[in-house]
Amino acid sequence: MFVDLVYILIICSNSTIVYLIWFHQSLHEPMYIFIAALLMNSLLFSTNIYPKLLIDFLSEKQTISYSACLFQCFLYYSLNGSEFLLLAAMSYDRYVSVYKPLQYHTIMKKETVRIFLGVAWFVPACQIAVPVALNVNTKLCNFTLKGIFAITQFTNFTV
């Protein structure tokens, strides 16, 4: 199946690049660390989406428990938010390297990179944890959706 191949390709390619960055000391520069973090984020994001998608394709009935749905929602939105913060950290790294090349090594120390990575993963997780935690005890109506419907609304404007 095509989805299987895409998922395996994502896992293999991202894992290979993360492995190379992790084990080669010459690649322990902030730019490569941020690339590895972005690829790890992509791996986690894909692992959040693809297995359930594959199970739904193969089964007759697509169901998910409420707690699993909340957990998947939490991972989806927190990883999405962390991707934006990782891209912002990467852009700051490039800004410092281009506009302050003599101060680059004093600004972009390993501690600064760790702080950026921690903030990029911790802040979105905390931001999404509150709404998810508030919805844990929410009761949902029971209904069965017989199909997917597209509803459009047309309005007439007069000038």
CATH code where residue 117 lies: 1.20.1070.10
SS3 content of the chain, % helix, strand, coil (to 5): 75, 0, 25
Classify residue 34: in a domain, yes or no. Answer: yes
Classify residue 15: in a domain, yes or no. Answer: yes
Domain count, the chain: 1
Classify residue 155: in a domain, yes or no. Answer: no
The whole domain housing 39 covers 2-134
Classify residue 66: in a domain, yes or no. Answer: yes
pLDDT digits (tens, 9 = 90+) for 12-64: 999 999 999 999 999 999 999 999 999 999 999 999 999 888 888 888 888 88
Nearest-angstrom CA–CA distance, 124 and 84: 10
Write down the pTM of the prediction.
0.81
Classify residue 143: in a domain, yes or no. Answer: no
Classify residue 41: in a domain, yes or no. Answer: yes
Classify residue 144: in a domain, yes or no. Answer: no
Half-sphere exposure of residue 104, counting CA atoms within 13 Å on the CB side? Answer: 14
pLDDT digits (tens, 9 = 90+) for 68-99: 889 999 999 999 999 999 999 999 999 999 99
pLDDT score of 150 more than 60: no
Classify residue 101: in a domain, yes or no. Answer: yes
pLDDT score of 115 more than 60: yes
Nearest-angstrom CA–CA distance, 112 and 96: 12
